[in-house]
Structure 1
Amino acid sequence: MKREKRLEDIMGRLREGREPISGTTLANAYQVSRQIIVQDIAFLKATHCNIISTNKGYILMNPPGKQKIFKVFHNAEQIADELYTIVEAGGQVIDVFIIHKIYGEIKVGLSLSSIRDVDEFVVNLAKGKISPLMKLTDEYHFHTIEAPSDNILTIIEENLREKNYLV
């Protein structure tokens, strides 16, 4: 398959999909290496396609909703509650990032938009498969949250403030 056709097909799959698609899944589907898929995604991003890379794969954010960055503080036992608070109100946790004194900004895409997504994330934390970035900054961290409207972002902010997670 020629590259142009593969790029069209990848965009079609991303438009139709509601869940992230892994690079390995795409590589297997097109019988190319995962590195070729990484290059294809980079090219599509450079052509202004709103593709987000997450720990679960690639997802097309179309159309983009309203976004807001929240600075939060809580302990490790409160991670699940914080994330459930956001997704239950209709938000999507796009990423988590910290501002490290030495390394600067460290950001990881999350793409958590449902209770199931949060459940899976929390299970992986408990298994030790991943470690929260907040450990590097005394539990302070930021989330980019996306929601369909400013009203939902306001509700999320109020709920996080009520639980004393906002800084």
Structure 2
Amino acid sequence: MKRENRLEAIINELRASKEPLSGATLANLYQVSRQIIVQDIALLRASNYDIISTNKGYLLIDPPGKYKIFKVYHNIEEIADELYTIVEAGGRVNDVFVIHEIYGEIRAQLWLTSKSDVDNFVTSLAEGKISPLMKLTGEYHFHTVEASSDRVLDLIERKLREKNYLVEV
């Protein structure tokens, strides 16, 4: 397959995927090395495609969805419920961030789109692989949530408010 055709095919794969695609997955799909995929992604970025790298693979931010930042508060035991509430209502949890009084904004990418993603994240917390940022700020934190429409974002907001996770700003 010629590079030009492969670049178009990669964009189509990334657009169709709701979850990040690893370089190895794309390499197997197009029967090239992972290094070729890395070069292809660099070319696509140079062509103004908004492709981000996550710990799970590449993700195309195209077309941009609707975004809303939610300020939330809950204890550590409620993390899974809060995140399930968002993804089950049709949202994607792009990140978590806190505003620390000394360090300023501290942000971590999450890219949680499903219950399985949430389960993996919560398992990592339970195993001590990662520590929730909310521990730095007395359990207050923010999420950037993406959804297909304002209606879905409104639904997520309503559900978070019903569970008393939402903090009015």
Give the structure-1-normalised TM-score: 0.81
Coordinate RMSD, CA, aligned: 2.7
1:100 alignment partner in structure 2: 100
Cα deviation for residue 2 of structure 1 reads: 9.3
For 1:165 and 1:44, the matched residues in 2 are separated by: 39
Write out aligned runs for 1:68-87 (5 A).
68-87=68-87
Amino acid at match of 1:58: Y
1:132 partnered with 2:136 = no
For 2:3 and 2:106, the matched residues in 1 are separated by: 32
Deviations 1:40-91 (A, max 9, x none): 6466445432323333222113322211000111111010000011011111
2:115 alignment partner in structure 1: 115
Change (3 A) 1:121 1:127: same
Cα deviation for residue 98 of structure 1 reads: 1.4
Amino acid at match of 1:126: A
Amino acid at match of 1:157: E
Amino acid at match of 1:145: V
Deviations 1:71-121 (A, max 9, x none): 111111010000011011111111111122222222221111111111111
Q: Which runs of 4+ in 1 moved over 6 A?
A: 1-6
> Secondary structure at the residue paired with 2:62?
coil
Amino acid at match of 1:116: S
Amino acid at match of 1:152: V
Any unmatched runs of 5+ in structure 2? none
Change (3 A) 1:139 1:46: farther
Cα deviation for residue 4 of structure 1 reads: 6.8
Change (3 A) 1:12 1:30: farther
2:143 alignment partner in structure 1: 143
For 1:42 and 1:106, the matched residues in 2 are separated by: 27
